[in-house]
Amino acid sequence: MTPTDTHCPYCALQCGMRLRPRPTGPGGTPPSAPPVDVEERPGFPVNQGALCGKGRTAPALLARALRLTAPLVRDSADGTLREASWDEALDRMADGFRRAAEHHGREAVGVFGGGGLTNEKAYALGKFARVVLRTPNIDYNGRFCMSSAATAHRAAFGVDRGLPFPMEDIATTGCVVLVGANPAETMPPALRYFTRMREAGGRLIVVDPRRTRTAEQADLHLRPVPGTDLALALGMLHLVIADGHLDKDFIAARTTGFEGARATAMAHWPERVEQITGVPVSQLREAVRMFAGAGTGMVLTARGSEQHSKGTDTVRAWINLCLATGKAGRPGSGYGCLTGQGNGQGGREHGQKADQLPGYRSLTDPADRAHVAAVWGVDPDSLPGPGPSAYELLDRAGTPDGIRALLVMGSNPVVSAPRAAHVTERLRALDFLAVSDVVLSETAELADVVLPAAQWAEETGTTTNLEGRVILRQAAVPPPPGVRTDLTLLKELAARLGTTHGFPDDPREVFDELRRASAGGAADYAGIDYARIRAENGVFWPCPDPAHPGTPRLFLDRFATPDGRARFAEAGHRPQAEEPDPAYPLHLTTGRVTAQYQSGAQTRRIAELNAAAPGPFVELHPHLAERLGVGEGDVLAVTSRRGRALAPARITAAIRADTVFMPFHWDGPGRANTLTNPALDPQSRMPEFKVCAVRVEKAAEAEARP
């Protein structure tokens, strides 16, 4: 059978892989067997053939037995979900949305997208919301992912692309500061670049309250109290100034706002920062010596630094550090964000975001509105304005101020949203909920209509990886009978709601329209097409015309701000929204484990991954365990002001004694997001996933029983 070159369905690295269809016997593929095998695709530069366990086992979920293969509708008689025809499911959806709009106004219908959707789907979904539903109420789970980094990028550099350089540049730089990032466990194939960098004499600094597998490989591991990265970055900037490491020529030629940043740094002298962060002055000095002393350097942040109510200011403080030392806008140097979701980058560029139109155009800019309206063939005045952010959308759902009907596509907020029990309650309060997904996720279980969606190996479409490289996923096998792509779903639904044109389900047709919509925008895809992507192993945006080579490295001549200069920020440290107190004396931080992905809706269904990471746990330090009288494996109750979660203790000296850690991949009693705090960053509207105050105790015997 002919193999098909494509990409992994999981994280933002979007590793290249090759899928070889299995020969089908006379009875077809058995329901429990995947129809393809994964092979190496060494020619794709980002991963050069390497895959992690998630990528390797990804085809398992293509097996019919593990997934949805028919639409489900909630039976009016017994209230359970039962199989239905596509026509019935689509009619129910159209009816649900129409009713909500009729009774409560167009704005009562909302859309919640996902960072795993292809560019084509994200684009079509945004267009569907604005043209068919004509609602401002659309946002997506990327708001929970990299919105702080995106906001900081735009403010500092004028454009938001996760990395301003290809991954391969990491291997060449002199020093990397990895902040709140754990690529050894979250994107293992990326680790090779850091290893090569160190082999070539570069230094790795890891900033993380936990001694993760990534931190173990660092030349220096700084271990701040959760929620204090902003102070840490400003303390480093202070030492850069005090110890004469400023690149004054770069600051003068290519930046603005240094004076404000300098004053703020003066308020964060090392001895004070030590008392805020717990990072000793000696280590702060060592970090600055390594970073400033290297000829080139990078700061890379991930969710650990970004998912805070001050996430944007924190990222900007790290950018300050790059700007002050001249480590930005030059080969081998720069600030970057390690985006999380598979299409976290592209998903935020093309119209799923509450305030943005495709190509990073703004919903409030008249010229931007006119451009996109012209491509869509609608009156610019008919486009709604910006809507609320993801948490705000969910928080108000089913209330008089909020949406009454919702379409969720490729997201599982019951597990992944902060204050998840409340969000679940809001979803239950909706008049109508439709979910399109591959599997019956915890969110889908609440729906009135569930649509079985085609998967990565079954449909063609582009994603944009963390480097800003637009790549092509190609269908290797057809979806099973009963399964359709989201593009087909939107086409059919639009038609039922009265829009019969403008929603093609051929991805190439959608992509060509996306190119026109993005033309001239910040994320300009106009010159990219499927053939070029195939021939060039992906094309980096911006790429304004077919003759343009694409832009692997941004900012080498100028930053994307109106005056071409990068902007320093001046925000100082402030405490997290919820500080520990006698009732809730510990910090909770959350994150991932290697074998699971996001809400676990996919990976929890794959036996090999589940065997490696079967369930939630609470990581705590031996000293804390001693104080609480807790032994390894004892079931702990972790309580915050939002709720209570139960999970077994995992005792390790790799975590601070004032902090406990829970992975967030599970629903049920061990759901970490039951506890997390929805306090929002005022700029990015990112919830404060990464730190809240909790109490930890041994669960009562009764609670510990299943």
Which residues of the shown chain bind other proteins in the complex (CB under 8 A)? 223, 225, 241-243, 260, 262-264, 266-267, 269-272, 274-275, 277-283, 570, 572, 580, 623, 626-627, 653, 657-658
In whole angstroms, how close is the CB of 300 to other proteins at the nearest point? Answer: 24
- Residue 203's DSSP bridge partners are 175
Nearest to 325 by CA among 298, 365, 285: 298
- For other proteins, give the closer residue by CB, 111 or 237: 237
- For other proteins, give the closer residue by CB, 282 or 500: 282
- For other proteins, give the closer residue by CB, 125 or 569: 569
What secondary structure does DSSP assign to 255-317, as a single string?
Answer: EE-HHHHHHHHHTS-HHHHHHHH---HHHHHHHHHHHHHSSS-EEEE-HHHHSSTTHHHHHHH
Q: Which residues contact 336 (CB under 8 A, 6 or more apart)?
A: 162, 163, 164, 165, 298, 299, 300, 301, 466
In whole angstroms, how close is the CB of 391 to other proteins at the nearest point? Answer: 22
In whole angstroms, how close is the CB of 174 to other proteins at the nearest point? Answer: 25
Q: How would you class 69 by CB atoms within 10 Å of its CB: exposed for 0-12, middle for 13-18, buried for 19 or more?
A: middle
In whole angstroms, how close is the CB of 344 to other proteins at the nearest point? Answer: 31
In whole angstroms, how close is the CB of 243 to other proteins at the nearest point? Answer: 8
Q: How many CA atoms lie within 13 A of 683 on its CB side?
A: 21
- For other proteins, give the closer residue by CB, 298 or 624: 624
- In the block, residue with structure tokens 């969910």: 394
- Residue 167's DSSP bridge partners are none
- For other proteins, give the closer residue by CB, 243 or 563: 243
SS3 of 248, please?
helix
Are 491 and 504 a contacting pair, CB within 8 Å? yes
Q: Which residues contact 517 (CB under 8 A, 6 or more apart)?
A: 123, 350, 357, 358, 359, 361, 371, 372, 375, 376
- For other proteins, give the closer residue by CB, 28 or 280: 280
- For other proteins, give the closer residue by CB, 62 or 222: 222
How far apart, in whole angstroms, are the C-alpha atoms of residue 522 and residue 511?
Answer: 17
- For other proteins, give the closer residue by CB, 628 or 704: 628
Are 71 and 89 a contacting pair, CB within 8 Å? yes
- For other proteins, give the closer residue by CB, 225 or 397: 225
Q: Which residues contact 401 (CB under 8 A, 6 or more apart)?
A: none
What secondary structure does DSSP assign to 482-501, as a single string?
Answer: T-B-HHHHHHHHHHHTT--S
Amino acid, res. 683: Q
In whole angstroms, how close is the CB of 244 to other proteins at the nearest point? Answer: 8
- For other proteins, give the closer residue by CB, 263 or 429: 263
What secondary structure does DSSP assign to 428-471, as a single string?
Answer: HTSSEEEEEESS--TTGGG-SEEEEBP-GGGS-EEEE-TTSEEE
- For other proteins, give the closer residue by CB, 451 or 654: 654
Tokens representing 524? 């300009």
- Residue 638's DSSP bridge partners are 645, 696
In whole angstroms, how close is the CB of 679 to other proteins at the nearest point? Answer: 15
Which ranges constitute the DSSP H helices of 656-700? none
